[in-house]
Amino acid sequence: MAEEKKAKAVKAAKLADPIKASIDKATQEMIVRAQELGIDTVFDRAENMKPCNIGMQGICCKNCSMGPCRLPLPKGGIEGEDTRKSLCGATANTIAARNFIRMVAGGAAAHSDHGRCVAEVFLSVARKESKDYQIKDTDKLLSIAPYFDVAVTVEVDGEEVDRDIDEIALEVAEKAMNEWGKAEGELYYLKRAPEALYEKWKKQGVLPRNIDREIVEIMHRTHIGVDQDYKNLIKQGTRAAIADGWGGSMLATDLQDVLFGTPYPVQSEANLGVMKEDHVNLILHGHEPVLSEMVVAAAQTPEMVEYAKSKGAKGIQLSGICCTANEILQRHGIPTAATFLQQEMAIITGACDAMVVDIQCIMQNVANVANCFHTKLITTHPIARMEQENVIHIEFDEHHAMEDATKIVKLAIDNFENRRAEVMIPRHKNTQIAGFGVESVEYHLGGSFRGSYYTLNDNIINGRIRGIAGVVGCNNARTRHNEGHIEVVKELIKNDVIVLTTGCNGIACAMEGLLTPEAASVYCGPGLAEVCETVGIPPVLHLGSCVDNSRILLAAAEVVKAGGLGKDISDLPAAGSAPEWMSEKAISIGHYFVVSGVYTVFGYTLPTSGAPVFHDYLSKELENLYGGMWDLEVDPIKHAQKMIAHIDKKRKALGIDRARERVLMDMASRQALEA
Ligand code: BF8
């Protein structure tokens, strides 16, 4: 009877229309495949469960057991005074602001706890307690040491000599660890922001004291009966968001670069088609490179490759999903298998011998999908386990990292011969060049003579490059997979705006072929195409994972430093975007972009629309305080056009709007002559 009921429920469930669900051919094929096999994916589930309209608008308070109190907007909107209130009297503004900054807390906690884990590994390396990790990039270590007030030279007999690198490492590691909980002062990295921005933060009283404190204080202030002023609440959200972008995330990026190497451009491929039927497919999914770096190293040892061959495979094909994909791509050129929304599909290929996961963005349903196949699903992190019985837990510990990683690789190899379903790997994949960063952008666009962002600035000033956009963030099953990402990015580059990408936007762009220098002549306006062709770079530069959004902040700070484009990030012809965001991390990122001076547009929705006064505060008033502001635009073309309008506004304010007209005119007349 129960079985019959279940069968009926499955039958009654609506199935996703593959074409409406995704613009990507591989994804469309795999949606069909999953439906043929009777396996539900996130796309089908989105058809059968609608989001709560009141929650979406940010006006449901469930912070005490008298609620949840829901404050729907009256039909026809609010006329006159907004009298909505919860049982305790909290207004819509208070509730929306509380919910919003709790999302900031969640996002900042996720990025920063990731950063803490890297800092712990770095400390144990500096203490010589972890034999399997080493410091790979001493130059990076030396470049960040001064921000922690750690001297890199020492005086011996009246002469300045280089300090011992191990001593520097230990001091940096201890001071970095302290950023999460120091009792006094403010975060060291705040001084990396342009001075004008730092002064704005100081004036507003939002300089973060330590990372953990700002997150804890959000939880306190949003408890029933504490902070009841949306302006004061968002101020704390601002502190925590800055502690994420210029703190936890930036520390994660820097310490990862020190430990695992600073990325430089590498060629690779993206989409499910990177999986190989005749290889052991081991997929790395999650976020922290502490795990994935070791698995990559273990899988590339001759012993493991030989072992795979002894089991009848041609080799080991590693690939990545979500931001772990971006980490192993940018440092090792490991191909990217999937964006967030495709994770179930990687298993549905029938060729995934093992999927190893750590933290963040792992759908619990991958365990159910793995159960339909031979796939071993391996959790590795003590804070992220799964209840399903088929999941294997191998706890990863930096003190015996290589041993753990080898165990994982072996498990995948041993599972190769257990494949039981017909393998169906979609044939779609594309070439990508990834691995850009502050350093490599300087190398490619900086000009060796000036050794700074001078050439980039010059091209912005002369108008070949109209402006800079950071387009980042997730997929969201409530919008057509990758459509927002790709349409926004294409519209921007068509209008000569160079795009810096991270996260799942980076993966989407890679799948679409936008991360190649050749994309410039196909998709870009004439100015950007000329720059990309001259320098040999793609018009969309992949800067890594979500914590690497800190690279975008630092690149913006470098542009300010190079001169000619104002004194603050908010002066730059620049804008930010997350067309398909879904996670709390995206809200934290969005907010630190905004309060760092960037006009930031989100797609899909913002959880503020039910509290118009608070929404207006975020989208209008914040500009007066920090120079940046939030916006929401669902239509991708309008979304990009709003960013371009903001870029043009900034060009005008800088007095460089006419230069662009001249350049494009020159180019047009040149082209006319050539014709
Ligand atoms: O870490 S993996 S879905 S949350 S964008 Fe978004 Fe993608 Fe998750 Fe940022 Ni990265």
Q: Which atom in ligand 1 lies closest to the alpha carbon of residue 339?
A: 7
C-beta atoms surrounding 524 within 10 Å:
26
Let me know if 20 is exposed, middle or buried by CB neighbors in 10 A (0-12, 13-18, 19+): middle
Residues 94, 233 contacting (CB under 8 angstroms)? yes
| Residue 13 · residue 40 · CB < 8 Å | yes
Helix (H, G, I), strand (E, B) or coil at 42: helix
List, for residues 47-57, the tens digit of each pLDDT value. 999 999 999 99
Which two structure tokens, joined as six digits, stand for 24? 């990507």
Distance 501 CA to ligand 1 centre (A): 12
Nearest atom (ligand 1) to Cα of 326:
10
- Whose alpha carbon is nearest atom 6 of ligand 1? 474
Ligand 1 atom, smallest distance to 474 CA: 6
For ligand 1, pick from 583, 588, 592, 604 the residue to mutate: most ligand atoms within 8 Å of CB: 583
CA distance linking residue 358 with residue 368, whole number of Å: 17
Tell me what percent of the residues of the chain surpass a pLDDT of 70: 96
d(CA 409, CA 281): 10
| Ligand 1 pocket member 140 (CB < 6 A) | no
Q: Report pTM.
A: 0.96
Phi, psi of 123 (to 5 degrees): -65, -40
| Side chain identity, residue 420 | R
* Whether residue 503 has its Cβ less than 6 Å from ligand 1: yes
Dist CA 249 CA 470 (whole Å): 16
Phi, psi (degrees; rounded to nearest 5) at 376: -90, 125
Mean pLDDT of the chain: 95
Residue 12: predicted pLDDT: 59
**Which atom of ligand 1 is found nearest the CA of 545?**
10
Decide: 473 in ligand 1 pocket, CB within 6 A.
yes
Atom of ligand 1 nearest to the CA of 475: 3
Question: Phi and psi of 647, rounded to 5°?
Answer: -60, -45
Q: Cα(646) to centroid of ligand 1, in Å? A: 26
pLDDT of residue 128: 94
Binding-site positions for [4Fe-4S] cluster: 52, 60-61, 64, 69, 88
Domains of the chain: 92-260 (1.20.1270.30), 272-418 (3.40.50.2030), 430-654 (3.40.50.2030)
Q: Which of 585, 587, 588, 592 to mutate to test the pocket of ligand 1 (most atoms within 8 A of CB)?
A: 585
Q: What angle do CA 486, 490, 493 make, to 5 degrees?
A: 140
- Sheet strands (E) in 286-437: 316-321, 336-338, 354-357, 376-379, 392-393, 430-434
Distance CA 7, CA 35 (A): 14
State how beta strands 153-156 and 159-162 pair: antiparallel
Ligand 1 geometric centre to CA of 211 (Å): 21
Dihedral (CA of 68, 93, 212, 259) sign = positive
pLDDT in tens, 557-569: 999 999 999 999 9
Residue pair 341/477 in contact (Cβ under 8 Å)? The answer is yes
Give the whole-angstrom CA distance, residue 203 versus residue 214: 18
Q: Is the CB of 581 under 6 A from ligand 1?
A: no
Residue having the nearest C-alpha atom to atom 1 of ligand 1: 546
Q: Is the peptide bond before 68 cis (omega within 30 degrees of 0)?
A: yes
Other C-beta atoms lying within 10 Å of the C-beta of residue 604: 18
**Angle, CA of 208, 214 and 219, to the nearest 5°:** 160
Binding residues for [Ni-4Fe-4S] cluster, as ranges, are: 287, 323, 361, 474, 504, 546
Task: Return d(Cα 438, Cα 552) in angstroms, integer.
Answer: 8
237 lines ligand 1 (CB under 6 A): no
Please give the distance, rounded to the nearest whole angstrom, from the Cα atom of residue 496 to the centre of ligand 1. 27
Report the residue among 504, 511, 577, 602 best suited for mutation to probe ligand 1: largest number of ligand atoms under 8 A from its CB: 504
Residues in the chain predicted with pLDDT less than 50, given as ranges, are 1, 6-8
> Ligand 1: which atom is nearest the Cα of residue 287?
1
In testing the pocket of ligand 1, which one of 113, 326, 336, 340 has its CB within 8 Å of the most ligand atoms? 340
Which residue in this structure is represented by tokens 């979609």?
426
Residue 182 burial (10 A CB sphere; 0-12, 13-18, 19+):
middle
* Separation of alpha carbons 319 and 275, rounded Å: 7
How far is the centre of ligand 1, averaged over its atoms, from the C-alpha of 181 (Å)? 26
- Does the beta carbon of 111 lie inside 6 Å of ligand 1? no
In 95-162 the beta strands, taken as DSSP E runs, fall at: 153-156, 159-162
**Is there a contact between 196 and 204 (Cβ–Cβ < 8 Å)?**
no
Task: Return the residue matching tokens 């011969």.
Answer: 417
Per DSSP, the three-state class of 154 is: strand
How are beta strands 354-357 and 280-285 bridged, if at all? parallel
Cα of 634 vs centre of ligand 1, distance in Å, is 19
**SS3 track for 577-635:** EECCCCCHHHHHHHHHHHCCCCEEEECCCCCCCCCHHHHHHHHHHHHHHHCCCEEECCC
Q: Of 260, 202, 264, 215, nearest to 241 (Cα)?
A: 215
Give the helix/strand (H/E) hosting 542.
strand 540-542
User: Is the CB of residue 243 below 6 angstroms from any atom belonging to ligand 1?
Assistant: no
Task: Say what the pLDDT of residue 454 is.
Answer: 82
Task: For residue 360, give the ligand 1 atom closest to its CA.
Answer: 8
